[in-house]
Chain A
Amino acid sequence: MAPLLDVRDLTTHFFTQKGAFAAVDKVSFSVNAGETMALVGESGCGKSVTAASILRLVPDPPGRITGGEIIFEGRDLLSLTMREMRKVRGGRIGMIFQEPMTSLNPVFTIGDQITESLREHRSISRADAERRAIELLDLVRIPDARRQIHNYPHRLSGGMRQRAMIAMALACDPALLIADEPTTALDVTTQAQILELLDELKRSLGMAILLITHDLGVVAEYAQSVLVMYAGRGVEAAKVEDLFHSPIHPYTRGLLGALPHPDDDVDSEGRPLPLNEISGMVPALDAMPAGCRFEPRCSYAVPACKMTDVRLAPLAEGVRSAACLRAADIVQDQP
């Protein structure tokens, strides 16, 4: 079966005074109906730009999608007219953002902002839209929905606002929900609640989720497949179990090494152990190495890595791929 969303060689450039650079450079991945696919990577690696590109919401200027295809439900979103694209936004694909505090318009009530989406995409009466808004708030477990639709966003806590955002994004039963770091701005307890809610909604509504995060713990718990990004490129794509069981790309291996296990987080005297961090820094956008972008920080690097612009390539097993010249050697080394 064809995937719900198939992103192929997506490239998005920013044109700034310093020159043009690709914030997203030939990134490919796909999301199957009903599954959660995670995009992980450090801050600035292009996750949000990828998400914005799917909905064609990259601010232009300075940004522009310069290549690739985004096949969603059989159509290339990049070839749609603006009018058709607007039907997809909020209709077939919903989106929630990182900052629930600033992502709702302060001068309209929660109810107004939900019904606005409904009335944009469906011919529905005001009363019906309001009824549906209450239903949606119940669905995302906002208590006392009937009263809350008349409330302004500033009266809600961060967690409640993010729930309201989810209700808004789900208003028209989208097939795909893009969640761009939906819990980064929330406290730990609320984070878990929101992620649980998203997971349940995914199951009950049968939608797919593109989950953007930089938390590998979240990936392990909630996603089925994953694309690891580094400096604007995809470096490893795999099923979640495979990635955690046998990471291939040195960057992924570094990340997983850096991920502390709950039991060996502390040494025998109860002091926290130092993290196994990857040494070095992400190269600046205007000073990217010509070959593999991870090469300067990579302990597996060989001279050829400096020259070869290596891209995500399927490995023997077929279901996973990595962008590394030494992938085969690394696979062999594994127990």
Chain B
Amino acid sequence: MQKVVKRNILGYKNNESKSQRAPFHSTAGSLWTDGAQERLDPQRFHVPALIKPVLSRLWRSVAIVVAIAALNFIIVHMAPGDVADVMAGESGAASPEYLADLKQRFGLDQPLIVQFFVYMGRMAQFDLGYSFRFGRPVASLIFERLPATLILAIPTLMLAFVMGSVLGVVASRRVGTWRDAAISVGALVFYATPLFWIGLMLIILFGVKLGWLPTGGMQTIGANYTGFAYVLDVGRHMILPVVTLSLFYMAYYARLMRASMLEVFGQDFIATARSKGLSEGRVAYRHVLRNALLPVVTVLGLQVAHLLGGTVLVETVFGWPGLGRLAFDSVLSRDVNLLLGILLMSSILVVSTNIAVEALYRWLDPRIGAA
């Protein structure tokens, strides 16, 4: 036969046809290939290769935390009034002498710029100063309250992530059925309903009407439980606040997971997986899920800050003695040192979870990494 003629039926040359016929795929391809052709290095999971980017992230994170601290200071001082005004107001007789005395004691009579450098200098030495209000070191106040917030936030995030993902996966596998409809509508409702309202309704239902669960606080007052009984008691008190806080995030992850799964189901490599004879379950849980998790994990990192904001609300509604409520109180009483300390603590929490999430992402997605 004659030589192969490199021209197809439509009359254009084959290499032109590539971009004309499949613009979507060719962009997807270049996105994934990163412009890199054969880089032959199977030693991806070399330890230094994994740690190095984390280290460089660490330096950037320190810079971010410092910038946040400075910004916090400026914002907090833009609000009118200070702790002396509040305390003088509360004590009733606010003579100008008393006020001046208070201000001098707290260093509030200094020019703002001096206060700023004093503050940043103290931060650099991890000295968070004294709370005007409680008369105690801010650091010890924070570390006293931090565990209460963590036992609220961590289970919330885990519950929301796991349950939300499961619901999203179920909905995506039964797309268009009543199950999908129920999950999607439920997710939309909880996504759109204000947290405090859900909290109050749950208190009314399970605490007041049914009497199954305690309505507030972290432990039964006066019971003085110890050991396992104490853990159980705290556990019972945790249920309502954790559920309240997780419903929103669960709804969010369910929606995100469903959309992400559906997108991956439409990818070419899923057709490949099916053509190998894999079962639908294996296709969904091995080939789709792993890829669909990537955007969800990204969002997980971004939402830690949002979650800390949510704890303020839930801790207030449920009288939970955590950092969120402490922050709320410190705002009301203009306890600047305490507020700045809590804000700094939160920013460190957020930045470090983001480092952890990034490491997780690197592990999940081989395309990003030691290049």
The 8 A CB mask of A138-175 against B (1 = contact, 0 = none) is 00000010011011111111101000010011000000
Write out the residue numbers on chain B whose beta carbons fall within 8 Å of the beta carbon of A277: 11
Chain B nearest CB from A154 CB (Å) reads 5
Residue pair A88, B277 in contact (C-beta under 8 Å) = yes
Q: How far is the CA of A156 from the CA of B36 in the complex (A)?
A: 8
Q: Indicate whether A221 sits within 8 Å of B271 (C-beta atoms), given known contacts A89-B276, A99-B29.
A: no
Q: Which of B9, B40, B41 has the most CB of A within 10 A?
A: B9
**Cβ-based interface call for A185 (8 A):** yes
Write out the residue numbers on chain A whose beta carbons fall within 8 Å of the beta carbon of B267: 102
Residue pair B9, A215 in contact (C-beta under 8 Å) = yes
Q: Indicate whether A220 sits within 8 Å of B2 (C-beta atoms), given known contacts A42-B10, A97-B272.
A: yes
Residue pair A214, B8 in contact (C-beta under 8 Å) = yes
The 8 A CB mask of B13-48 against A (1 = contact, 0 = none) is 011011001100110110011101111111010000
**Cβ-based interface call for B290 (8 A):** yes
**Cβ-based interface call for B3 (8 A):** yes
Write out the residue numbers on chain A whose beta carbons fall within 8 Å of the beta carbon of B2: 220, 261-262
Q: How far is the CA of A150 from the CA of B41 in the complex (A)?
A: 9
The 8 A CB mask of A74-116 against B (1 = contact, 0 = none) is 0000000000001111110011011101111111110000001
Q: How far is the CA of A185 from the CA of B275 in the complex (A)?
A: 20
Of residues 169 through 203 on chain B, the ones whose CB sits less than 8 Å from some CB of chain A are none
**Cβ-based interface call for B306 (8 A):** no
**Cβ-based interface call for A331 (8 A):** no
**Cβ-based interface call for A255 (8 A):** yes
Residue pair A86, B269 in contact (C-beta under 8 Å) = no
B: interface residue count bin: 35 or more
**Cβ-based interface call for B239 (8 A):** no
Inter-chain CB contacts under 8 Å: number: 171
Q: Closest B residue to A92 by CB, please name it.
A: B277
Q: How far is the CA of A87 from the CA of B268 in the complex (A)?
A: 21
| Contacting residue for A97 out of B38, B268, B366, CB 8 A | B268
Residue pair B277, A43 in contact (C-beta under 8 Å) = no
**Cβ-based interface call for A217 (8 A):** yes
Residue pair A188, B268 in contact (C-beta under 8 Å) = no
Q: Indicate whether A217 sits within 8 Å of B5 (C-beta atoms), given known contacts A101-B28, A103-B268.
A: yes
The 8 A CB mask of A271-288 against B (1 = contact, 0 = none) is 000010100000000000
Q: Closest A residue to B267 by CB, please name it.
A: A102
**Cβ-based interface call for B6 (8 A):** yes
Residue pair B366, A185 in contact (C-beta under 8 Å) = no
Residue pair B10, A152 in contact (C-beta under 8 Å) = no
The 8 A CB mask of A197-221 against B (1 = contact, 0 = none) is 0000000000000000111111011
Write out the residue numbers on chain A whose beta carbons fall within 8 Å of the beta carbon of B77: none
Q: How far is the CA of A99 from the CA of B21 in the complex (A)?
A: 11
Q: Which of A107, A153, A156 has the most CB of B within 10 A?
A: A107
| Contacting residue for A103 out of B10, B39, B272, B367, CB 8 A | B272
**Cβ-based interface call for B287 (8 A):** yes
Write out the residue numbers on chain A whose beta carbons fall within 8 Å of the beta carbon of B10: 42-43, 214
**Cβ-based interface call for A55 (8 A):** yes
Q: How far is the CA of A148 from the CA of B42 in the complex (A)?
A: 7
Chain B nearest CB from A118 CB (Å) reads 10
Q: How far is the CA of A52 from the CA of B275 in the complex (A)?
A: 9
Residue pair B268, A160 in contact (C-beta under 8 Å) = no
Q: How far is the CA of A215 from the CA of B278 in the complex (A)?
A: 32
Chain A nearest CB from B367 CB (Å) reads 5
Residue pair B4, A89 in contact (C-beta under 8 Å) = no
Q: Closest A residue to B273 by CB, please name it.
A: A105
Residue pair B275, A89 in contact (C-beta under 8 Å) = yes
Of residues 330 through 371 on chain B, the ones whose CB sits less than 8 Å from some CB of chain A are 364-367
Residue pair B9, A184 in contact (C-beta under 8 Å) = no
Q: Closest B residue to A218 by CB, please name it.
A: B4
Q: How far is the CA of A155 from the CA of B32 in the complex (A)?
A: 10
**Cβ-based interface call for A20 (8 A):** no
**19 extra A-B contacts, CB within 8 A, seeds A52-B271, A90-B276, A188-B14:** A57-B275, A89-B275, A89-B277, A90-B278, A99-B25, A101-B28, A105-B273, A105-B291, A148-B40, A148-B42, A151-B40, A154-B34, A154-B367, A157-B37, A168-B272, A184-B14, A191-B6, A217-B6, A262-B5
Residues in B lying within 8 Å of A, measured CB to CB = 1-11, 14-15, 17-18, 21-22, 25-26, 28-29, 32-34, 36-42, 44, 267-269, 271-279, 287, 290-291, 364-367
Offer 5 A-B interface pairs, CB within 8 angstroms, sorted by A: A91-B277, A97-B268, A103-B268, A104-B272, A108-B290
